[in-house]
Amino acid sequence: MEYSSEFPTTPKDVSLQELRERLAEFAEVRGWEQYHSPRNLLLALVGEVGELSEIFQWKGEVARGLPNWSSDDKEHLGEELSDVLLYLVQLADVCGLDLGQAALAKIVKNGKKYPVTNQKEN
């Protein structure tokens, strides 16, 4: 499948499948598959979670929607969140797991574990 390397000009839904395919192609054309073992991808993922945490470090509590953040700070946050997501998608892929199906199944399981009680205490 051919992909444009350009950022899409109009917002669109992005599927985990599309990310998985683009990442697999990205690694393949660079000969990086040999490095993308489950353990290496997990370590890369944890490293990116650390970089994501640094953005919030020492800021104190942050309001939802990040109303006081600059556009540069928000762009940086988007990049670090993306790094985490992209390594997570690759990790699931090399483990042979369908991450979307697993996540949906986990949401169903969570719903059974934490039934709605009409009390907003959780």
Angle ∠(69,75,78) on CA atoms, nearest 5: 110
Q: Counting contacts by CB under 6 A, is residue 32 touching ligand DCP?
A: yes
Q: Counting contacts by CB under 6 A, is residue 45 touching ligand DCP?
A: no
Q: Counting contacts by CB under 6 A, is residue 51 touching ligand DCP?
A: yes
Other residues' Cβ atoms within 10 Å of the Cβ of residue 48: 20
Residue by residue, DSSP assigns 17-80 as: HHHHHHHHHHHHHTT-GGG--HHHHHHHHHHHHHHHHHHHTTS-S--TT-TT--HHHHHHHHHH
Q: Counting contacts by CB under 6 A, is residue 73 touching ligand DCP?
A: no
Which residue lies nearer to ligand DCP by CB, 35 or 104? 35
Site string for ligand DCP, 74-93 (x = CB under 6 A): ---------x--xx------
Which residue lies nearer to ligand DCP by CB, 85 or 110? 85
Residues of this chain that interact with ligand DCP (CB under 6 A) are 32, 35, 51, 83, 86-87
